[in-house]
C-alpha cells in the first residue's frame, strides 16, 4: 500500500512536531454496489499506529467513516534522533508499513 | 426533416463559430476551483495532502521503470528532461502519425511505439499515475493548444459536439457551462467546464480519474448514450475544451467534487 | 425556456437544507455510544474544539480537525479522542489514542458524512473525565448521476 509521510527532517529536543500521513486505500464501506448490483464487501484500514524509536506515540481505530485514501495528522514530542515507524492493517488482514528517520538536535 | 435539422445545426455551429468564437470571454474565465468550497480549494493546494499526489508519486516511480521489449523507461529517452509545459499543450497532433492525441494517448504511443510495451488501459492505476505525474509538471502554466493545420478539423468537430443537444435531458454542454455557469443545479454550483485540473481526484469517485472519465460522467448526467473510452468524439471535445480554456493555469492534479 | 425555469424551480426548492433538528425524532445513536463510553460519568461540554466546514461540497471527504485544551503531561493528558456521527450507518467514526508523548492534543483527518448531520467529538482524559464538542455540517449531494 502506497503511503506518503511528512515529518520534519530535523527538530529540537522537546519540540512538538507535526506528523502527516496519507495512505492509498479505498476504505470500502460495505455499502456500495458494483456495476451488476452486488454489494462490495467492506474493507477499511481499521488500525493505524505510529512508533517513535520503538514506542507507540499515536494509534487510531478507524471505521468506514474515514474517507478513502485516509489522511491523518497528529503530533508528537521530538525526543531523540531515530526512526518513525508507521503500521496499519485493514479488515482483510493486509498490512502496510512505512518508516522515516528524524534528526533531533539538543 | 433530417436535412432541415442538419441545416439548422450547421447554421448554429457557424453562427457560434463566427459570432461567438469564445462563449466565455477570456477575462471571465474561471477554473473549476473557483466554484469549490474553501475546504477542497485548500486540499488541492496542499502539496502533501492532495490525494492526487499519491498518483503523481507513483507516476514518478513508473517514469524510471523500464518496460516492454525494448526494456526502456520513459526516463531513458527523456534523459532527465523536465516535462514542464507539455501537458499545457495537449491535446496535440502527433507529427509522425497525424493523429490527435491527448496526454494518455501520447503516453501509450510512446509505450507501444518506442518501448515495445503494451498500451495501458484507460483509467488504469498506471496510466493515471503517469498522466498525473506529467500533468503536474505543468502546474501553474497557462493552457495553450495548437489549433492550426490538421487540428482545425478536430477543433470544429469538438465544437460541434459541444453545441449539439443530446441525451434524454436534451441539453448541450453550452446550456450548463456557457449559459448557466455560476448558477445552481440542485445544491451544486455549475462550473464553466474547463479541463485545466485534470487528471483530478474526484470525491464522487473517491479516486483519481481522467478528463475522459469526467466527460463520460457528464454524458450519464444528461442521460445521453454513453461513448466508450477512446471515442474520437471525446478526444475532439477535449481539444475544443482545451482551446476554450486557453490562458487558464494548469492545476493538475486537481481536486474536484 | 421551460426547462430552464423548471431547473431553476427545482434548484430553489432544494436550496433549503434539511437540518438535523428537522429530521424525525429518533433515539440518538450517539447518546447510546456515549453512555457505553463514559460508563455513567458525565460528558461535559468544553475543552474540546471540533472543526468541520459548515457546508461540505461532497460527503465523501470532509476536513475534520479536533483539538483539546490540555497540558499533555504525564499527570494530565488526553488519553483518547472519540468521534461520532449521528447519521452515518456506523456511528463510531474513529478513536485517536494520544498520551503525554503527543505534546499537543490535536488530530486532523478527512471523514465521510452520509448527509447533513451533527458530529460529536469526546475527549477522554487521564483523570477519568470526559469533555465534548459538536459540529453541524450541511452536506450537499451531487446534482448529476454519474455512471462513468
pLDDT at A29 (0 to 100): 97
State whether A2 and B58 contact (CB < 8 Å).
yes
Contacts of A75 in chain C (CB under 8 A): 102-104, 106
Backbone φ/ψ region at C129: left (φ over 0), alpha (ψ -120 to 50), beta? beta
State whether C58 and B221 contact (CB < 8 Å).
no
- Tell me, yes or no, whether B78 and B203 share the same domain: no
Q: Which three cell numbers stand for residue C85?
A: 456521527
pLDDT-derived band of residue C4, with 50, 70 and 90 as boundaries?
Answer: low
Mean pLDDT for all residues in chain B: 92
Q: How far is A16 from chain C (nearest CA, A)?
A: 6
pLDDT mean over B29-57 = 97
Q: How far is C8 from chain A (nearest CA, A)?
A: 31
In a domain, B19, yes or no: no
pLDDT-derived band of residue C148, with 50, 70 and 90 as boundaries?
Answer: confident
Q: Tell me the pLDDT tens digit for each residue of A55-79.
A: 999 999 999 999 999 999 999 999 9
pLDDT at C7 (0 to 100): 53
Answer whether C121 touches A (CB < 8 Å): no
pLDDT-derived band of residue C145, with 50, 70 and 90 as boundaries?
Answer: confident
Total domains, chain B: 2
Answer for the pair C103, A75: CB distance below 8 angstroms, yes or no: yes
Chain B residue at shortest CA distance from C109: B49
The DSSP output letter for B230 is: T
B173 is catalytic: no
Among A22, C62, C59, residue whose Cα is nearest residue B38: C62
pLDDT-derived band of residue B3, with 50, 70 and 90 as boundaries?
Answer: low
User: Measuring CA to CA, how many Å separate C69 from each of A14, B64, B163?
Assistant: 19, 47, 57
- Tell me, yes or no, whether B155 and B232 share the same domain: yes
State whether A72 and C95 contact (CB < 8 Å).
no
- Tell me, yes or no, whether B119 and B182 share the same domain: no
pLDDT of B101 above 70: yes
pLDDT of B8 above 70: no
pLDDT at B6 (0 to 100): 55
Answer whether A59 touches B (CB < 8 Å): no
- Tell me, yes or no, whether B248 and B148 share the same domain: yes
Contacts of B206 in chain A (CB under 8 A): 26-27, 67-69
Chains that touch C (3 or more CB pairs under 8 A): A, B
- Tell me, yes or no, whether B146 and B128 share the same domain: no
Identify each DSSP E strand in chain A by its residue range: 3-6, 10-12, 16-23, 45-52, 55-62, 71-77, 82-90, 95-105
Answer whether C101 touches A (CB < 8 Å): yes
pLDDT of C45 above 70: yes
pLDDT mean over B138-144 = 97
Select the residue of A24, A27, A67 nearest B54 (Cβ to Cβ): A24
- Tell me, yes or no, whether B146 and B244 share the same domain: yes
CA distance C78 to B189: 41
Instruction: At A2, give phi and psi (nearest 5°).
Output: -75, 145
- Report the SS3 class of residue A32: coil
The DSSP output letter for A48 is: E
Residues in chain A: 106
pLDDT at B69 (0 to 100): 94
- How large a percentage of chain B has pLDDT more than 70? 91
Answer for the pair B241, B194: CB distance below 8 angstroms, yes or no: yes
Interface test with C, best of B50, B188, B208 (most C CBs within 10 A): B188
pLDDT mean over C56-74 = 97
Domain limits for position B76: 52-136
pLDDT-derived band of residue A30, with 50, 70 and 90 as boundaries?
Answer: very high
Instruction: Pick one of 3.20.20.70, 3.30.1540.10, 3.40.50.10470, 2.60.40.2470 as the CATH number of C41-139.
Output: 2.60.40.2470
Contacts of C61 in chain A (CB under 8 A): 67-68
Chains that touch A (3 or more CB pairs under 8 A): B, C
- How large a percentage of chain A has pLDDT more than 90? 97
pLDDT at C146 (0 to 100): 87
pLDDT at C41 (0 to 100): 96
Select the residue of B48, B51, B58 nearest A69 (Cβ to Cβ): B51
CA distance C105 to B235: 50
pLDDT at A1 (0 to 100): 86
At B73, which helix (H) or strand (E)? Answer: none
pLDDT-derived band of residue B21, with 50, 70 and 90 as boundaries?
Answer: low
pLDDT mean over B200-226 = 97
State whether A68 and C93 contact (CB < 8 Å).
no
ipTM higher than the 0.95 cut: yes
Residue bearing the bigger pLDDT, B212 or B12: B212
Contacts of C61 in chain B (CB under 8 A): 43, 51, 203, 206
pLDDT at C6 (0 to 100): 53
Residue bearing the bigger pLDDT, B227 or C27: B227
Residue bearing the bigger pLDDT, B79 or B13: B79
Strands A55-62 and A45-52: antiparallel
- Tell me, yes or no, whether B38 and B94 share the same domain: no
User: Measuring CA to CA, how many Å separate A28 from each of A64, B95, C83?
Assistant: 7, 44, 19
pLDDT at C143 (0 to 100): 86
pLDDT at B16 (0 to 100): 44
In this structure, of B30-34, C116-120, C141-145, the range with the lowest mean pLDDT score is: C141-145
Among B203, C83, B207, C135, residue whose Cα is nearest residue A65: C83
- Tell me, yes or no, whether B171 and B129 share the same domain: no
pLDDT of A50 above 50: yes
The enclosing domain of B38 has a CATH number of 1.10.760.10
- Tell me, yes or no, whether B168 and B219 share the same domain: yes
- Tell me, yes or no, whether B159 and B96 share the same domain: no
As assigned by CATH, the class of the A3-105 domain is mainly beta
Q: Which three cell numbers stand for residue C89?
A: 450507518
pLDDT of C109 above 70: yes
State whether A22 and B54 contact (CB < 8 Å).
yes
Q: Which of B136, B169, B201 is the last residue of a domain?
A: B136
The domain ranges of chain A are: 3-105
Amino acid at each position: 500500500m502506497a503511503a506518503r509521510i511528512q515529518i520534519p527532517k530535523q527538530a529540537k529536543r522537546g519540540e512538538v512536531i507535526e506528523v502527516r500521513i496519507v495512505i492509498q486505500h479505498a476504505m470500502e464501506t460495505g455499502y456500495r454496489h458494483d456495476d451488476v448490483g452486488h454489494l462490495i464487501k467492506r474493507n477499511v484500514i481499521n488500525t493505524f499506529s505510529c512508533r517513535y524509536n520503538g514506542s507507540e506515540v499515536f494509534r487510531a481505530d478507524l471505521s468506514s467513516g474515514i474517507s478513502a485514501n485516509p489522511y491523518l495528522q497528529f503530533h508528537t514530542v521530538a525526543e531523540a534522533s531515530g526512526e518513525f515507524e508507521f503500521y496499519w492493517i485493514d479488515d482483510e488482514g493486509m498490512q502496510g508499513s512505512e518508516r522515516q528517520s528524524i534528526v533531533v538536535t539538543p | 426533416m433530417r436535412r432541415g435539422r442538419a441545416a439548422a445545426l450547421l447554421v448554429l455551429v457557424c453562427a457560434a463559430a463566427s459570432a461567438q468564437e469564445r462563449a466565455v470571454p477570456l477575462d471571465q474565465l474561471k477554473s473549476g476551483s473557483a466554484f469549490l468550497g474553501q475546504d477542497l480549494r485548500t486540499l488541492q493546494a496542499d502539496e502533501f495532502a492532495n490525494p492526487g499526489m499519491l498518483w503523481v508519486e507513483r507516476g514518478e516511480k513508473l517514469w524510471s521503470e523500464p518496460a516492454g521489449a525494448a526494456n526502456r523507461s520513459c526516463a531513458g529517452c527523456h534523459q532527465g528532461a523536465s516535462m514542464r509545459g507539455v501537458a499545457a499543450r495537449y491535446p496535440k497532433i502527433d507529427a509522425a502519425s497525424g493523429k490527435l492525441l491527448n496526454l494518455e494517448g501520447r503516453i501509450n504511443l510512446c509505450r507501444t511505439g518506442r518501448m515495445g510495451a503494451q498500451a495501458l488501459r484507460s483509467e488504469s492505476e498506471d496510466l493515471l499515475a503517469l498522466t498525473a505525474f506529467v500533468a503536474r509538471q505543468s502546474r501553474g502554466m497557462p493552457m495553450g493548444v495548437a489549433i492550426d493545420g490538421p487540428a482545425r478539423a478536430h477543433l470544429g468537430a469538438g465544437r460541434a459536439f459541444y453545441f449539439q443537444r443530446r441525451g434524454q435531458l436534451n441539453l448541450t454542454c453550452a446550456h450548463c457551462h456557457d449559459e448557466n455557469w455560476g448558477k445552481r443545479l440542485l445544491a451544486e454550483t455549475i462550473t464553466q467546464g474547463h479541463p485545466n485540473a485534470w487528471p483530478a481526484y474526484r470525491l464522487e469517485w473517491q479516486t483519481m480519474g481522467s478528463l475522459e472519465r469526467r466527460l463520460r460522467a457528464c454524458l450519464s448526467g444528461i442521460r445521453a448514450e454513453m461513448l466508450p473510452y477512446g471515442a474520437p468524439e471525446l478526444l475532439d471535445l477535449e481539444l475544443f475544451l482545451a482551446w476554450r480554456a486557453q490562458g487558464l493555469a494548469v492545476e493538475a492534479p486537481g481536486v474536484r467534487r | 425556456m421551460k426547462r430552464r425555469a423548471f431547473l431553476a424551480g427545482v434548484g430553489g426548492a432544494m436550496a433549503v437544507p434539511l437540518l438535523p433538528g428537522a429530521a424525525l425524532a429518533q433515539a440518538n445513536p450517539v447518546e447510546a455510544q456515549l453512555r457505553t463510553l463514559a460508563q455513567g460519568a458525565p460528558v461535559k461540554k468544553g475543552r474540546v474544539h471540533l472543526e468541520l466546514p459548515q457546508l461540505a461540497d461532497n460527503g465523501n471527504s470532509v476536513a475534520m480537525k479536533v483539538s483539546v485544551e490540555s497540558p499533555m503531561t504525564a499527570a494530565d493528558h488526553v488519553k483518547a479522542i472519540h468521534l461520532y456521527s449521528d447519521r452515518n450507518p456506523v456511528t463510531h467514526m474513529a478513536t485517536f489514542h494520544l498520551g503525554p508523548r503527543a505534546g499537543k492534543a490535536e488530530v486532523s483527518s478527512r471523514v465521510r458524512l452520509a448527509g447533513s448531520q451533527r458530529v460529536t467529538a469526546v475527549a477522554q482524559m487521564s483523570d477519568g473525565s470526559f469533555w465534548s464538542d459538536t459540529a453541524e455540517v450541511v452536506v450537499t449531494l451531487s446534482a448529476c448521476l454519474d455512471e462513468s
